[in-house]
Amino acid sequence: MDTMSYITDTIPQLNARLASREITREALVEQALEGASSHAAKSVFTKLYPEAALAAARAADAAQSAGVAQTALAGLPFTIKDLYGVAGETTMAGSIVCKGEPEQAADATVVARIRASGAAIIGKTNMTEFAFSGVGINPHYGTPVNPTDPLVARIPGGSSSGAAVSVALGLAVAGLGSDTGGSIRVPAAVNGLVGFKSTQNRVPLTGALELSRTLDTVCAMTRSVQDCITVDAILSGAMLPVRHRPLAGMRFAIPQTVVLDGMEPAVATAFARSVATLSAAGALIVEIKLAEFAEMPQRNAPGGLSPIEAFAEHHERIARAKELFDPRVSQRILLGAPVTAQQYIGLLDGRRDWISRVEQAIEGFDAVLCPTIPIIAPEIAPLIASDEAFFKANGLLLRNTFLFNFLDACSFSLPCHQAGELPVGLMLSSVSGDDAHLAAVALAVEAALK
């Protein structure tokens, strides 16, 4: 697959080329559909919508020719994770157990909003079954290969695996995914993309198949921070009021507990280089202990929020057809089975106390900085072969990101590697509801790192 012929531009760059008639939306969508059927995109899509996508692109081209102003996403290729309802289809969510379940009566709220923006939805993307892993392996539909390493088949990250690879291959300007424990930021980090996990209640979950009602967040991956802001405005129904700020004078906290443990050399090098760049640009870097992070195994016990709430969602499917599940997924879901209502309420109460203490500890900082994940993308084959290797990698991939889901934080992952290096993500996070401020910080950090 010749990736040079596919999308590498940001949304504003594409719209500038469209305005000058250098390219057409129809041509972009035709190329994206061609690429979606190529070997490089094997296992990326679970369904394509060629006629509808081309119709959206042609409508936007015609409207532009008639002098009608277009939205930022009009006619541009967009992908949606197979977690979201599409009218007339059964939501499979990376599974085979859902086959035969009722079709959706209406599009999920976010899918309807994407359509209303005029975007050309080219297809549904593959994912970890029921969104329950940060690795991205799927035994039912195959595993998309991370395109950033031409020599080694590495994981795409999960659970929004196909969403990430669709953008990394240049087949879409954005990939709609979800983030419960890191499912946007992990694949963004390992594919060299930008991922934005908003505050959970910013975007409606209506029409999405649940993993964890308390933690599930609707969000997307793109090529730039500004593109994430643009897409978030469509998903949420409201543009973030971002006030651009200089990096000089910003205050960043780097926790010394948990998040820096076990960094692979490539990650440690990229992170240290990024911090040095920000400091040289005038940002104040403060190391803080943040010992509360070490409490996570205790605070998320017993079972864990995701297994408890996933068992509530999937217990009937497990009772009916457990043998059809990815065993690594059912194993994790069943951790929630023995948890009592009393224990569940205790977990939620403990979480509120933990959030209060962490928010107090990071008050006054513009963002918390850490590596998105402490390792580079592992190879696929050893993780398919070994449960031990799989669960070790999964734990490392989700370790840092999950802390900020548990905090109900907003969070960006930005690429911080240099040309010729495998992708590494820099994560910027802030407290619940601080999305607009964090977006301004992310814009400034992105500019410094480039």
Set 43, 81, 117, 133: catalytic member: 81
Q: Is 139 exposed, middle or buried (0-12, 13-18, 19+ CB in 10 A)?
A: middle
Would you state the torsion angle of the CA atoms of residues 438, 443, 447, 450, taken in this order, to the nearest 10 degrees? 80
Catalytic residue among 43, 95, 117, 159: 159
* 429 flagged as catalytic: no
Active site residue 38: no
SS3 annotation, 21-69: CCCCHHHHHHHHHHHHCCHHHCCCEEEECHHHHHHHHHHHHHHHHCCCC
Determine contact, residues 411/373, Cβ cutoff 8 Å.
no
Q: Is the peptide bond before 5 cis (omega within 30 degrees of 0)?
A: no
Which backbone phi and psi does 88 adopt, to 5 degrees?
A: 85, 0
Which tokens belong to 183? Answer: 């499912």
Question: What is the crossing angle of helices 341-361 and 305-321, to 10°?
Answer: 150
* φ/ψ (deg, to 5) at 359: -60, -40
**Is residue 183 annotated as a catalytic residue, yes or no?**
yes
In the structure encoding, which two tokens stand for residue 399, read together?
Answer: 């370790």
Give every CB contact of residue 271 below 8 A, 6+ residues apart in sequence.
Answer: 263, 370, 371, 416, 424, 426
The β-bridge relationship of strands 251-255 and 284-288 is: parallel
**Which of 183, 212, 330, 430 is labelled catalytic?**
183
Just list the catalytic residues.
Answer: 81, 159, 183
